[in-house]
């Protein structure tokens, strides 16, 4: 940046400090320190207001910029589409909307319909609303309950928080909506049953069945799960878990809703996280990676069985999904999503994600041999976590401030990493990595080396 730009940037920082309410941040420190402004991005890297370069190991902070920054072809496609037609309500179709739906469904055997919205929270709420409407239409108000899992997150609105398994996020925002019921998490590292491997996975799934039986199967309409839990601590399911979950859903006629807001569109090395586990969902929701943040787009995708239920009785004026999302009619989203998907295909980014994910997993595991503070490395594809523990036997978490010091030190070194699960006993402090799907070995080495240095400084 030249002098003039820096001058302007100072004014922007002042304007930001005076008027912007940042997400997830305590603002008091900004009264003396400066908020961070990200000014530019290219590939895997971003530059802040000081012109400092950072390697972004978290794809825009929250697992979003899957194909990396500065993709002109996405910008051009969006520009062309905006000039042609920027918007018409989703009561009508659009060319990119139809094209992207077809493309997306071709990656999701068994699924058939795409409902366009703007955010992951909204996509999940649409699925919840569909479940509730099915309950009224089909079951006289029974089968209205939605099960969600401890440690999973489904959004920031009150209904999605009602299905939120992270108590630290929910504190101070209740009361929540009725009809949401929690089931236990499945992280073997924080074991709830004295079992291991596949047996553990089956026990964790059976725990869902116990909740269903306790609530009454005729009251339960759906089960909503993340394929790999993201913000709750990068939790990969144990062997045996998903097949048993599917079996239980079928046994009690419970719709299976998979929240792919983070895992969707390549993050784990397949198009969707559930595709690692051979699951057949009824709903799949997705957001972040759909257009890699080049436009706001999210989707609630259903199978034909669900869709059919909404056009059974054309004589009944209430017998359709009476829902709209104004900006679900924006054409920029599907136009960007089409290019995003084309890039993933043309650049073989699923293969790259699987390979680089394995490489990064190995590198982090090697780091665990060196730093006893790393208690557990887990994840899938380029979606990885390293849980920090004060003691490997007790698995007591490290102090939250120490975990934050690791993140801050990496930032100093020019590498942006994340940390999940702060402020919850027993689950604290999982360092979180989700670099773009274009990552190379060099990028990963740079990230891991920064973490190595930071752990050395913070924990000795």
Q: Rule CB under 6 A: which residues touch ligand PLP? A: 62, 119-121, 124, 153-156, 226, 230-231, 259, 261-262, 287
* Shortest distance in whole angstroms from residue 436 CB to ligand PLP: 17
State which residue, 24 or 171, has the beta carbon closest to ligand PLP: 24
Minimum CB–partner distance for residue 230 and ligand PLP (Å): 4
Q: How far is the CB of 435 from ligand PLP (least distance, A)?
A: 17
Q: Name the residue nearer to ligand PLP (CB basis): 295 or 455.
A: 295
Sheet holding 180-183, edge to edge: 113-117, 298-302, 283-286, 255-259, 220-225, 145-149, 180-183
- Give SS3 for 187: coil
Work out how close the CB of 96 gets to ligand PLP at its nearest, in angstroms, rounded to a whole number: 20
Residues contacting residue 7 through CB under 8 Å, at least 6 positions apart:
none
Q: How far apart are CA 339 and CA 291, in angstroms?
A: 8
Q: Measured in whole angstroms, how far is the alpha carbon of residue 66 from the centre of its chain?
A: 12
| Closer residue to ligand PLP in complex, CB, 119/268 | 119
CB of 310 to ligand PLP, least distance (A): 23
Position closest to ligand PLP via CB: 120
- Interatomic CA distance for residues 291 and 337, integer angstroms: 4
Between 233 and 269, name the residue whose CB sits nearer to ligand PLP. Answer: 233
Give just the sign of the alpha carbon dihedral 17, 19, 20, 24. Answer: positive
Nearer to ligand PLP, 59 or 331 (CB): 59
Alpha carbon distance 150, 99 (integer Å) = 37
Least distance CB 433 / ligand PLP (angstroms): 15
Q: Which is nearer to ligand PLP, 48 or 226 (CB)?
A: 226
Q: Tell the smallest beta-carbon distance from residue 272 to ligand PLP (Å).
A: 13
Handedness of CA 245, 246, 247, 251 (dihedral sign): positive
Which residue, 69 or 153, is less far from ligand PLP as judged by CB?
153
Nearer to ligand PLP, 383 or 458 (CB): 383
Structure tokens at 367: 């780091």
- Of 330, 405, 351, 326, which is closest to residue 373 (Cα–Cα)? 405
Q: Are 17 and 35 in contact (CB under 8 A)?
A: yes
Q: Please, what is the Cα angle at 96 between 92 and 100, to 5 degrees?
A: 110
Q: Please report how close the Cβ of residue 118 comes to ligand PLP at its closest, in angstroms.
A: 8
Nearest-CA neighbor of 196 among 227, 165, 230, 241?
Answer: 241
Whole-angstrom CA distances from 455 to 370, 389, 404, 448 are: 10, 12, 11, 10
Q: Are 339 and 330 in contact (CB under 8 A)?
A: no
Q: Output the CA torsion sign for 242, 244, 250, 255.
A: negative
For residue 297, the minimal CB distance to ligand PLP (Å) is 10
Q: How many degrees, rounded to 5, is the angle at CA 90 between CA 126 and CA 325?
A: 40
156 vs 275, beta carbon nearer ligand PLP: 156
In the complex with ligand PLP, the residue whose CB is nearer, 228 or 249, is 228
In the complex, what is the shortest distance from the CB of residue 122 to ligand PLP, in angstroms, rounded to a whole number?
Answer: 7
3-class secondary structure, 208: helix
Can you read off the two tokens belonging to residue 38? 């990200």
């Amino acid at each position: 940046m030249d002098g003039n730009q820096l001058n302007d940037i100072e004014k922007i920082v002042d304007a930001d400090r005076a008027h912007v309410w940042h997400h997830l941040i305590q603002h008091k420190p900004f009264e003396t320190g400066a908020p961070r402004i990200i000014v530019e991005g290219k590939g895997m890297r971003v530059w802040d207001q000081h012109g400092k370069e950072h390697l972004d190991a978290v794809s825009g902070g929250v697992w979003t910029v899957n194909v990396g920054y500065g993709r002109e072809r996405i910008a051009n496609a969006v520009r062309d589409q905006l000039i042609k037609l920027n918007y018409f309500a989703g009561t009508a179709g659009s060319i990119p909307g139809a094209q992207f739906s077809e493309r997306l469904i071709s990656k999701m055997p068994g699924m058939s319909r795409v409902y366009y919205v703007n955010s992951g929270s909204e996509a999940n709420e649409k699925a919840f609303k569909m479940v509730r409407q099915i309950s009224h239409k089909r079951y006289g108000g029974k089968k209205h309950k939605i099960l969600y899992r401890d440690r999973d997150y489904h959004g920031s609105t009150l209904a999605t928080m009602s299905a939120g398994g992270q108590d630290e996020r929910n504190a101070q925002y209740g009361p929540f909506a009725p009809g949401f019921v929690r089931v236990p998490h499945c992280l073997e590292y924080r074991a709830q049953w004295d079992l291991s491997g596949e047996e553990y996975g089956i026990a964790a799934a059976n725990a869902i069945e116990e909740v269903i039986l306790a609530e009454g199967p005729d009251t339960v309409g759906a089960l909503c799960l993340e394929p790999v839990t993201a913000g709750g601590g990068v939790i990969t399911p144990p062997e045996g878990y998903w097949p048993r979950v599917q079996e239980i859903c079928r046994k009690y006629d419970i719709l299976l809703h998979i929240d792919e807001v983070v895992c969707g569109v390549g993050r784990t090395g397949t198009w969707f996280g559930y595709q690692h586990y051979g699951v057949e969902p009824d709903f799949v929701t997705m957001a972040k990676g759909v257009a890699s943040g080049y436009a706001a787009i999210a989707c609630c995708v259903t199978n034909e069985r669900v869709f059919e239920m909404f056009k059974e009785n054309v004589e009944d004026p209430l017998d359709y999904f009476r829902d709209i999302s104004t900006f679900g009619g924006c054409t920029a989203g599907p136009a960007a999503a089409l290019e995003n998907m084309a890039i993933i295909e043309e650049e073989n980014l699923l293969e790259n994600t699987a390979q680089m994910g394995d490489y990064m997993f190995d590198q982090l595991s090697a780091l665990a041999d060196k730093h006893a503070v790393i208690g557990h490395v887990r994840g899938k594809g380029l979606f990885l976590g390293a849980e920090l523990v004060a003691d490997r036997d007790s698995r007591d978490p490290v102090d939250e401030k120490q975990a934050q010091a690791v993140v801050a030190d990496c930032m100093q070194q020019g590498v942006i990493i994340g940390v999940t699960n702060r402020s919850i006993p027993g689950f604290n402090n999982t360092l979180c990595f989700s670099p773009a799907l274009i990552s190379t070995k060099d990028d990963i080495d740079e990230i891991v080396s920064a973490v190595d240095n930071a752990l050395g400084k913070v924990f000795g």
